[in-house]
Chains A and B, each alone.
Chain A
């Protein structure tokens, strides 16, 4: 597609529910990143992939968070047993990963509110 597409744009979950956030990167983009952004803060790194390989998941806050990119394109971030502190905007970004300049193109984000 023309840009990075994220769905849903808005998600309200009751505490304890599981949620799944989808990211459709730009076609052909090798790298895919997930970030968590709280209101008024900078994006916090969660995890990233090169193709289907998850190279770093050190930013995932707990074992309730899980990300996958099984075919090296679409990625899903899953949060199990959501807590109120999980409320944030989840940003997905992808890049061609070439020429040493890993310029990221971001999606519009998925805003998660946990009640």
Chain B
């Protein structure tokens, strides 16, 4: 069984600063995938970034990067140069060998002007 833990219910960050959102996962699968999604107040779920368990390099997508530490079962999202539009809920998710995808409880990020 998979499990995702996001320990930060809410975070406040000053605009233009970098922010790290924590995510730890638990899986018995050898092959798995990790995702981050953003959910603004409008409610839509937006895919941000993906990391495969066998990928040796950390995934990056523009201002987003995934700090993947396999031994620690950690997949933190780093947002560089935060913007006001980054204020949203952020969800970490995992996909196991059965292709089932589960989500964490999320972190609400507030960017302060």
Contact = CB atoms under 8 A, between A and B. Distances in A.
A79 interface: no
Interface stretch (A62-70, A80-88, A97-105): A97-105
Contact of A106 (B44, B99, B104): B44
Interface stretch (B14-22, B45-53, B67-75, B77-85): B45-53
Contact of A108 (B44, B50, B52, B105): B44
A41 B52 contact: no
B56 interface: no
Given A105-B47, A106-B44, A108-B44, A100 B52 contact: yes
Contacts of B6: 42
Contact of B100 (A42, A48, A101, A108): A48
Contacts of B47: 103-105
A101 B6 CA distance: 21
A35 B103 contact: yes
Interface of A: 31, 33, 35, 41-45, 48, 50, 55-56, 89, 91, 93, 97, 100-106, 108-109
Given A56-B98, A106-B44, 10 more contacts: A42-B105, A42-B106, A43-B45, A50-B99, A55-B98, A55-B100, A93-B45, A102-B33, A103-B35, A108-B44
